[in-house]
Structure 1
Amino acid sequence: MTLLIDKVQQIEGVTVYGDDSDFSIYYLVPQQPRYRLNPDGTPAFRFLKYRFPIDRADGRKGGGAVLFDAEFVVPEDKMPRIMEVLTAQVQQEANRQNVQAPPVKIGTITYTKGEVKLFVIGADGTFVEELHNPGKSSLYGNNITTFMLEFTPEGATFFEQAMQGQGGAVSVVYDLHFWAKLPPVTINAWFNASKFYSFYQTIDVDWHLWSEDDYRETVRETMISSESMGIEPDWGGLTDEKIKTQLRDWAFRSLEDAVERNMIQAIAPVPEDQRDMPEGIENVTRDLSNFQISSFNLFYKEHTTVEWNLAPQGQLQNITNLKDKDGNLLRWEDYAKTINLDDPFFRQLRVNTYVNADFNKLPIHSVEVKLLYDGRPMPNLAPDAPEGEVVLRKPDEIGHFATYVENDNWKYKYSYQVNYKGESRIFESEEVETNEGNLTIGVDDIGILSVNVSAGDINWNDVDSVLVTLKYEDPDEGVEPFEDQFTLTKTLPNHLVQEVIFKPMRKSYKYFVKYFMKDGKELEGDEKQGRAENLFIQDPFGGRKTVGIRGVGDFVNRISQVYLDLKYVDEQNDNYTQAKAIVLSKDTPFVDWSFPVISPTLGKVVYSGTVVFKDGTVQPIAETTAATDTILVPKAPQDVLEVAIVPDLLDWTKLRLVKVSLQYQDADNDINETKDFILTPQRRDMQTWKVELKDKTKNQFTYKVVYYLTNGTQKAVSPPATTDNTIILEIPEM
């Protein structure tokens, strides 16, 4: 009893073959693989996602895996309908043969060999770290194959999402071979191959004593190769083109396999080293030939049993698309699990101990570090090392400690002792509690003040030398005042300040810099503070000062120009001076003067000048010391109320709009003047309000300012009546 190739039909999407001799036997071939089902109807599938308890050296946080079985079997829900159709066919054939109808029997396909492949996204290592695939199915029963995929962290997240919902995320391809019988046809597959090689060579040499020698060589070489193959089918009464195509493909595959087994090797020509004249021989003749033939015929006739091949394949449906025996959709959480590998039983507190200090440059002999966990010395992982203690003598030495965590307590206590070179005194720290996995004893903690002082961007063309005074004291820790004074030059731009203070460095050091210029001047900066191990002394001009000069007069009708002479003097730094002359006019009503200074808090700005009016008159401006960084000139005349609105101090990152409303009233002279000024980030120049006075003794006015902030709120101020000619706007604090 053997499966008959051309006796085939489709029932419920299942390919059904008949038997070559028994009309009641049928062989069922499903369309595609599926997940193997357990006896209770649940799929053999498990997805796991896990994370590691601690960071790993390779940076991986965890990963995932999926384990499942695939099978190649007809679904159970299709069998009743298939049996119903086949029973009717058997009954019909029994009636035709006038015999009693036997029961329908499902035959077992005899598989000879088979392979199984799995296709997944990211198999190049992006999502899938490793694919475990046996490569072939069981070749019996339900043709079960087991697969396991190990995922990267990204792959675990990807497949967790991809394996839910509609569709699928993996595909299985079976490649199965089984015994089957051909329909009543004859197929002749043939192959002919021949190779011929011929080599002929003659060499004649005549040696002459008194004349030239004669040498003659003749070579003829021929190589011929030919191959041909084909199939010659005799279909007989077979008319099904689909079966013909399958048989033709099968015959070609069988022929190609036979050709590969019977292919003749290429004939090698005569080597070059065998074509030369042998020594002592004057005449040579070589006549070689080689002829190879490979020819065969394969005949397949009716009732011949052959090895047939099928390649069923398909995408495995997602678990959430499958149903249980009661018809309910399966739930992903029943087949997937997230695992936290942080098992409390195995938790360990691991501590790596370092000293972040240069033992070669600092007077440190060694640092002894002691660790206690739950009142007991923490085990030292180094062999033969005392528990709870490590002695570090180099910056690259590391102490490794570890202990199992009890009662979820991750804290431990540590202390350390610093031994100095050439010092009998030591420094012992207090006991400190922490949970740091990397315990670093820093330079500030080892009882040494160490500062590398270097010249920064100093212009040595102007600076001759720099005198630096560095001080440190900590009365709270009992550290006596320490001072080091040294000079930096172009040839000696570095200096190391180093002092054993036997206490941690908890406060900032202070330093003061004095510059000696090449022109003989001496410049001094403010006292500064620092904590950095590397201190850079910069150029003496450590900042810039900007002074705004604003013309507040009527440059349209009354004032022609204002001439100003400005001077900045820093008396503390050898009368360091900067000077500038400016002219204000209608076209240039304001100027900003910016210049380098040794310190923005030192020095003062003085100014003097002349106001030239359009009527030709001149008014001097006496020398005045600027009270702020904004200078307003000239003063308003007494018969005119002239008010300047100065917005320089406004922070436009917080403002959308500012409205300034001014009012002047003189009831005796029937005067009531009002005006609104609107300032915006696009229009924020200084504004001037002028009112002609009939009584110059009445120069009071009122104003109100409303600030519209970017956060949607408003702030308003209404100061009492004033005679001040300048309104400096600034957002009020409320």
Structure 2
Amino acid sequence: MLYLNPPYHIIEGVSLFSDHADPLQYYYLPLMPKLTAIEDKTTGQKIPQIQLIKYRGKAGNGGFLNFDVNIGIEEEALEKIRQKLKQVANLSQTPRLAPVPLVDGTVRLLLLGKQTGDTSNPSSSPQFVLKIDQAAKPSLYGSNQAAFSVALDQYGVTVMEKALQGEMSPIGIVYSLDYLALRPAYSVKLSVDWDRVQKHLDEHFGIDALFVSIDIDKAVDELIESRVIVIEADTFVPEGEDESAVLGRRDQAVNEVRDMITDAFFKPSIDPVKEEKDGWDKALYVADRVSRIATTGGWSSGGTFSYKKLDYTRIDRKSLDVNISERTTVKRSIYPQGHLSGLTRTIAQQGLDLKNFILSVDLDDPWFERRRLAVISRGNFEEDSISSINVRLNYGSSPTNVLLESSNARTQLDWASIVNNSVMQRDITTQYKVTFKGIDGNERPIAVESTPTIFDGDSLEINPRELYSLVHIPIVALSFPWDRYPQVEVHLKYTDEKNGIRMDDSFLLDQSHSEQTWKMFVRDPQQTQFQYKLIYRAANNRDIETPFLDGIDERITLRDPRPNKRSLTIASSLDWNLVDRAFVDLTYDDAKNDVIVEQSFEFNKEDSGSKTFKVDLVNSDYRTIAYQVTLLFKGGRTLEIPPSVTNDRRIILRTDMQGHRIITVQPKKTDFAAKRLAEIQVELNYEDEDNGLSFSDLFTFESNNDRATFEFDYSDQQKTAYRYRITYRYLNGLSRSIDWMTTNTDLLLLPVA
């Protein structure tokens, strides 16, 4: 097996490695690759295996460089190497040579700034090398031949044509070859001065005395320190490699050498005096002793020993000199590399013509040309729910159908060219049909078809959106009160009878799904008007439904259908030492807009915090809230505050609360100018002498659009009537008054007279 052990020889550019067992066996590997040359059996010339093809034509300009390389060596050269190796290695016989046995390897090409594995980078500047085609690995036997094919642009062809005529070509080849070899792993050597060892042990041990292994180890360590016993352990594994197994075997060999010394001068015994004590409490020796027993199996690792007196001057000392070593198999790589030589010298030596290696090609021959057409779908099959696109093409008298699907969105077609007057006919009649999937035929067409067209290009792009469009209508909720309207139904319609479109879709939005998109199928771009209706599903079951509205923008935004709010805060100022509980019943009733909201609150000592009554307003001008307060005292007495209304923002609960009324005052819908009326003045008064209540107010109205409110408190539900008096002032300066009148209405309409 190949042995990584110096000396290494390099002869005639070839690396040579020795064998681990056979001194006459060597392995060779050339340092540089070369062009493959094949012998012409007729002429005897060696033809380099390289060819440069350059082409030009309408399809483009460029070329291809094809060549074979190897790292083999001819038999004549091998014989010369054998003779030189015999001399430099001082061999008695002619050595045998064999190629380095390879287990794996790769080869790559470096050419004009590119190398194997580089991807093309489209650019307007010259690329020189467009693509490199090759096998990733050489043959890995024989001469390790590798074949290359390189695509060049027109600039790369020009450079290569000139460069091949030089002494060195720009073609760089780099091999990376893996092989297995033996190398030293470790070496353990023992060298003993036996006279000094025996003398030292005679002085320290008696023949009849018993000793434990620790005493022997101490004596041996002293001999090692004084260089009487020399143990050398060398490791050849580089740091960083997986050397744990090698180091373990090296340490085992060292322990075996130490056991040899112990076995040479001592023999195991049993202490006859007492039960054996082994001193394992000394932690430093425990691990070493156990390790020795496990690795060497020798009894010198523990127990009791007696010294045996021997005269080693009479024993062949070589029998105890030890040299333990190990060699391991490793995987190594070697990298033969270099630039190939130019063709000038090779061609001159073989008497060849350079023109035979450079081939010029004109691509433009109409008869050989084929009418090629790439059919490419630009449709979004998933987005548009397209099942397939059936493309019908007719070139001359050769009709062809192509079915494009999501898994096959493009295809390449070609026909034998039709040539007229040395010019290829290019016109192709095209037509396509788009078929949809998962479509309700009652709402929209399941297929649309284009009109026939003439196409003379090379790439036919099919864009289905030329026949229709999908208008995306986003439905988005912005700051929407999902707590009041947990769900919103959106109904959408789009109709185009001429094109057979009658779309009717609906979406259900909630807080988790607050956005949707409606895809509106449109064939007439001038007709994109759609209608939508919203149904707000309220938490209190008082749903709000809009009529169908025209979509002005290509977007539907959901907002609060009742953006105007009315809130009333109820705060307690009750003495909870007197009052046990308080109830407040509130009602907002907008009968004209069918809005009624009712809610009740309870207050007590434990729950006396303020509470809020909220209403969504349709009529932002109508803000009146009716309420009634009931107080339960701790003595069992109940007090009901008379029904009240308020336009304020808050109510304060007190034990002395009164009922509260609000009277809306406004003129009737009569034109003041028609009556020559300048203004109307009204005085209002409420009195309850028994309860000490008196309220008065005065309002002036200058048009029938003016409004006013008269508010007063009352204690007795039987005394809620109030009085009013009207004074009319005319444009001529005259005035007229109507005497006091009594009424109990909540809406006081003033006659215009």
**TM-score computed with the length of structure 2 as normaliser:** 0.30
Structure ranking higher in helix proportion: 2
Report the TM-score, using the length of structure 1 for normalisation: 0.31
